[in-house]
Structure 1
Amino acid sequence: MFLEHLYPDRTKVITGMFLELINCAAVVGIAMLMYPILKKQDEALALGYFGSRIIDSVLLIVSIVALQLLVLLSEQYIASGAADRNDFQTVAALAVKGHFAAFDMGMLALSVGSLIFCYLLYRSKLIPRIISIIGLIGYAALFASGCFGIIGHDVGMVLYIPGAIFEIIFPIWLIVKGFNLSAIDAQAIKK
């Protein structure tokens, strides 16, 4: 059983947990940076995007807590010797299921918020619409993947691919070209 190996290899797990915490902070930071731009397009949707990213981060942190519990459970499992091994396996199985459930729910929050984000990008023409469409397709697929995960059907990572394509193209576009400033100026003139 994996509990025999988890605690001795805990450095890898703890490193992964800290990287996930950094990701959680970055997700909220991105939402904070995007809010002033997005609220010029639609303040209610911009707040929805911001809130969804906070929910996403909280759910990912909950999934991290489940991993920490598994490391602690592994330590106790090793220390206990042969006693109560079945109880440890049951608790470990529940912690693993809790981790994946929180992760899948986090992916739902991420996908809903990112659909709002991509819709606002599409509507405002801040970036080329084709990039926004790739994002809409990607996050709809991620939403489907999260739903499948919650009902117990693991479809693998294939539904992550369209969203990953957006998450590669979008920042490269922003670095090379930036936002369409004329679209931002046009929105400011309308208001």
Structure 2
Amino acid sequence: MNSNKKAAKIVGVLFILAAVTAIIGLILYDPILNGPDYLIKGSEHANQVILGAIMELILVVSAVGTATTMFPFLRKYSETIALWHVCFRFLEAVVITLGIISILSLLTLSREYVAGGSPDIAFYQASGTLLKAIHGWTFLLGPNFMLGINTMMYSYIFYRSKLVPSFIPLLGMTGATLVLICAFLVMFGVIEQLSIFGGLLALPIAANEMILAVWLIVKGFNGSAIDSLSAKKKVSRNFHL
């Protein structure tokens, strides 16, 4: 029981850490992602940009940590879905990492532009546009598309297994659906990801993660549900033997 509560607290803390570092990282990227003079501002605020990259690396570790820590609980209901959840969470982490690489590459480009004195600005602007586009797509596919799939899977298991109160996974599945819709709308150019409408569509999934995190830290997983799942798993194993 103590190990289950400890694992639940770890998951809760990792969810909060992932959310906080994601927001901080995006804010710290501002000089190199926004504004027409990003090729100059990026180099001027190099340490800030690097700190933003470190924040996102913490996000990557936290995302993988939530999946691997939840896996033993999710597999009690469905090992297949639990494995899919881990795989897609790793894919989300890989996509986010590609975004980090694009930002650090853009920082290198900015430094080269400033050090060059009077370089061919067209070349640097074209390269910068490409690197910013890569980051934009990874920002869409990771924190939106992959996140929606991941949240749908673990929320479904939480709802069916009763590991947490039903209102939490119901909010999670609703949020996952809306963030997936948001991802497709952004892909087809209907809305901007960083917009009021995009923010409204992402709000339920953000609320779900924070509510789930606090619940796991304070209450943990439902002990009776864990016992029931373990008993069913044992009976199923004995039957197949």
Q: If the length of structure 2 is used for normalisation, what is the TM-score? A: 0.76
CA distance in 2, matches of 1:133, 1:150: 26
Map 1:11-30 → 2, pairs under 5 A: 11-30=47-66
User: Over aligned residues, Cα RMSD in angstroms?
Assistant: 1.2
Map 1:176-191 → 2, pairs under 5 A: 176-191=218-233
CA distance in 2, matches of 1:34, 1:113: 12
CA offsets, 1:5-63, max 9 Å, x none?
A: 11110111100100100110111111111001100010000001101110000000000
Query: Is the counterpart of residue 117 in structure 1 residue 131 in structure 2?
Result: no
Query: Is the counterpart of residue 132 in structure 1 residue 132 in structure 2?
Result: no
CA distance in 2, matches of 1:112, 1:21: 21
- Pick from 73, 84, 87 the counterpart of residue 51 of structure 1: 87
CA distance in 2, matches of 1:14, 1:83: 24
CA distance in 2, matches of 1:7, 1:144: 36
Residue equivalent to 1:158: 200
The gaps in structure 2 that reach 5 residues or longer are: 1-36, 234-241
Higher relative contact order (CA 8 A, sep 6+): 2
CA distance in 2, matches of 1:147, 1:18: 29
The gaps in structure 1 that reach 5 residues or longer are: none
Helix, strand or coil at the partner of 2:44: coil
For the 8 Å contact 1:125–1:183, the answer to whether it is kept is yes
CA distance in 1, matches of 2:93, 2:44: 28
Deviation of the 1:4 alpha carbon: 1.0
Query: Is the counterpart of residue 144 in structure 1 residue 181 in structure 2?
Result: yes
Q: Counterpart amino acid of 2:183? A: G
Q: If the length of structure 1 is used for normalisation, what is the TM-score? A: 0.95
Aligned length: 191
CA distance in 1, matches of 2:115, 2:186: 34
Deviation of the 1:180 alpha carbon: 1.1
CA distance in 1, matches of 2:125, 2:45: 18
Query: Is the counterpart of residue 167 in structure 1 residue 209 in structure 2?
Result: yes
CA distance in 1, matches of 2:105, 2:229: 49
Q: Counterpart amino acid of 1:47? A: L
Deviation of the 1:150 alpha carbon: 2.8
CA distance in 2, matches of 1:135, 1:72: 39
Helix, strand or coil at the partner of 1:183: helix
